[in-house]
Structure 1
Amino acid sequence: MKSIQFYSALIGAACCASFATAAVAQETIKIGEINSYKTQPAFLGPYKMGMELAIDQINKAGGVNGKQLELIIRDDNSNTGDAVRAVEELYTRDKVDVLTGTFLSHTGLAVTDYAKQKKRFFLAAEPLTDKITWADGNRYTFRLRASTYMQVAMLVPEAVKMNKKRWAVVYPNYEYGQSAVATFKKLMKEAQPDIEFVAEQATPLGKIDAGNVVQALADAKPEALFNVLFAADLAKFVRAGNQRHFFKDLDVVSLLSGEPEYLDPLGAETPVGWVVTGYPWYAIDTPEHNAFLKAYQEKFNDYPRLGSVVGYGAILSLAEGIKKAGSTDTEALIEAFRGLEVPNTPFGTVTYRANDHQATSGAFVGKLAVKDGKGVMVDFKYVDGADVQPTDEEVRKLRPAQD
């Protein structure tokens, strides 16, 4: 009899523990995040830190709708098949409530399509391809970071001021690079009809033959260059160009090259005078950025990179959207994100447009210089993403009907 009473008590305790666990689970919002951590660590290491800072701050302030946020991360190996499998695992095994992430454009597009097929909300934090919010856009996908079109449009006015006729282009040969060059050519021809593109080098991502690329560009004798290379490819290209004095008297506009992830490794080899988009964290003086910088440095004893800003902004966006929706229900989130305003990101308030689901995140445009042996941005200005987005009428032509 005592034995029966003992086991009954044990079973009762187990049931109570089970109910307690379920109660805890119900008090947690699981955010599934998918990205190319192994292949793109320079950007995604700081990106993860930015997410962690935002989650810590939100949870300490009471969470979202009374629930704590939990981040569950998977690596996509920069492969579309792995990305889709990892996302499916996040839902089936980890039981996530909402999905965000991706870095490279092709993996971002794969997850965008998954969201459409499975009817699941997806916040594309970083991938830049225009297709995510235009040609391949869908009602389930929103994007935080300024798109390829937007960032190229920020650089075009500076390129036009150079008043150069003979241009060359160099870019990584995949969706992002192809899209950036196509947009640059289109916008430049509209602004400067007599422009000529005299050389074009499309390099395999992460496998640039820098010496031959520089030589091929130099042989065309361009007056100006549009560069889209980033990460290790950029460093190799700059080194080869400096060795061959290719950049002497050459005007250059360059996408992303002012971001610390890609600028810092150049050090004293930084090409002075390039006009770039980037993130001069050391010289931004706004209340939102000052608060972010202070909190980031206190938590990590390090300075933020652009990835830190994107990761932080992605979590803030999800938190604000879930709060407005009142749940993580897909349809409720879609309605909440259309026109959603996210205050207090490091770059100020960001708004998600209802027509194409693109956020108004901006970027800094300035020139490269060397200070104390390090690359820095000078003479920079912040360009609001809202100022370089197409009109509603143009978006209707670019984006298929989704509702």
Structure 2
Amino acid sequence: MMHGRWFKGFLGAATLALGVGAGLLTGSAGTVAAQDPIRIGEFNSYTGFAAFTLPYRDGWTLALEEINDAGGVLGRPLEVISRDDGASPADAVTVANELVAREGVDILFGTFLSNVGVAVSDFAKQRKVLFLAAEPLTDTLAWSLGNRYTFRLRPGTYVQAAMLAEEAAKIEDAVRWVTIAPNYEYGQAAVAAFKELLKERRPDVEFVAEQWPGLGQIDAGAAVQALEAADPDAIFNVTFSGDLARFVREGEVRGLFEDRTVASVLSGEPEWIDPLGAEAPEGWIVTGYPWYAIDTPEHDRFLEAYQERFDDYPRLGSVVGYAALHSIADAMEAAGTTEVEAVIDALRGLTIESPVGPITYRAIDQQSDMGAYVGQLTVQDGKPRMVDWRFGAGSDYLPDDETVRQLRGE
């Protein structure tokens, strides 16, 4: 079943009413205003990782306006009650509990960090509320720690590592690899997946050194020196945000990247690479979001609406927030009710439209098959850009059903 409600509200942007104390956002629409609203809980690391989460909020805000301008859901307007999760698993669970107990929501979406997503997933399982993990990339959410009440939108570490490994395997002289990743759930999962998937394609490769800086605590000089000392042919990088900028600048100064292959998760995403401007590295193989070069009807519609609404270009977070809220709205429409168990049943196997094309939430693991873009970094007119990129469908890289059952312990 496919739902395409996401593009129906492009004829005008609705005015937002913001209740500061409650963090409440509701799109205005006269046709549904008289009905009791459907309340959805949302939370993310707005103060901790604003580069991603503020565009993400703009994305779901645009979706909210579209949904309500098109008549709401089941004839009722949507309200999103939004909170900051403090980029902390404990704080996120506290916020989730407040949204459920005090605000009366049964459906939650959001979170950014993988360890935060895992904590909220367990909360959702215990409280039997639906949780759509919009951004967290660890695959434990869908596999080893997967549960009926948790869905995940973005392609995880396995899919993105598989795409990078596919490209890296083509470089014959890239045999000795080193890795650098933040020392928490996401970084550990990304490195493990890349090692496994690259060695499947190239049994001759070896991994000769690793660096595990704390998130937001990289000592770039020491890390670069340690990697250089291993005399690698290639580097797998998982750093992002300020850690990425510091790693790039120190690596350029010390010549770490000269004549070496670099494969890097997320480094083509505008959130993380645009702040580097003309200092962005060139030739890196990256996953990212080349919004400036995507030429499809669905993305053109999204890009036009987003730029008109916010007078800015979208980041990948914008796409994630937009698709997340539309996913929930479409699932409720498909279920014909807001009752949690029915919405879960409707979302399992549901296909929706999105700015990057149709995505399906696989019934077997409740992971969407949203794809990703992979290409090479360059600098054009002083701006970081992805070139020679391609879009890889998540369904082409996700493991088969038998493997998933094993990973989920079924």
Unaligned runs of 5+ in 1: 1-22
1:365 counterpart = 2:371? no
1:26, distance to aligned residue in structure 2 (A): 5.7
Matches within 5 A, 1:199-238: 199-238=209-248
Which of residues 249, 254, 258 is equivalent to 1:244?
Answer: 254
CA distances 1:381-401 after superposition (whole Å, capped 9, x unpaired)? 000111110000000100134
- Give 3-state SS (helix, strand or coil) of 2:266's partner: strand
Q: Which runs of 5+ in 2 are unaligned?
A: 1-31
Kindly indicate whether the alpha-carbon contact (under 8 Å) linking 1:53 and 1:296 is maintained by their aligned counterparts in 2: yes
What RMSD over aligned residues (CA atoms) do the two structures have, in Å?
Answer: 1.1
C-alpha offsets along residues 238-276 of structure 1, whole Å, 9 cap, x if unaligned? 000011111110100000000000110111111100000
Measured against aligned partners, the alpha-carbon deviations of 1:339-359 in whole angstroms (never above 9, x if no partner) come to 00112x100111000000000
| Matched position secondary structure for 1:302 | coil
Q: State the partner residue of 2:20.
A: none
Residue 282 (structure 1) aligns with: 292
Secondary structure, in 3 states, of the residue corresponding to 2:373?
A: strand
Residue equivalent to 1:32: 41
- Structure 2 distance, partners of 1:286, 1:201, is 39
Structure 1 residue identity aligned to 2:72: G
* 1-structure distance, mates of 2:268, 2:400: 28
Deviation string for 1:301-354 (max 9, x for gaps)?
Answer: 0000000000000011001101011122111011101100112x1001110000
Counterparts of 1:8-87 in structure 2, within 5 Å, are: 27-87=36-96
Q: How does 1:130-209 map to 2 (within 5 A)?
A: 130-163=139-172, 164-209=174-219
How far off is 1:80 after superposition? 1.1
- Per-residue deviation at 1:184? 0.7
1:59 to partner: Cα distance: 0.4
For 2:302 and 2:284, locate their aligned partners in 1 and report how far apart those are by CA, in whole Å: 28
TM-score by length of structure 1 reads 0.92
Give the counterpart letter for 2:211 in structure 1. Answer: Q
Whose helix proportion is higher, 1 or 2? 1
Q: What is the count of residue pairs matched by the alignment? A: 378
| Aligned counterparts, 1:285-324, within 5 A | 285-324=295-334
Distance 1:389 1:51 in 2: 26
SS at match of 2:292: helix
The aligned amino acid for 1:100 is F
- Counterpart among 267, 272, 281 of residue 271 in structure 1: 281
1:24 Cα offset (Å): 6.8
**1:27 Cα deviation from its structure 2 partner:** 2.3
State the shift of 1:95 in Å. 1.7
Which residue identity is paired with 1:311?
G
How far apart are the structure 2 equivalents of 1:231 and 1:218? 22
Contact 1:27 1:66 survives alignment (8 Å): no
What's the CA shift for 1:285? 0.4
**In structure 2, distance between residues paired with 1:76 and 1:26:** 30
Corresponding letter in the other structure for 2:89: T
**Counterparts of 2:33 and 2:383 in 1: how far apart (Å)?**
48
Runs of 4+ in 1 over 3 A off after TM superposition: 23-26
Which structure is larger by alpha-carbon Rg, 1 or 2? Answer: 1
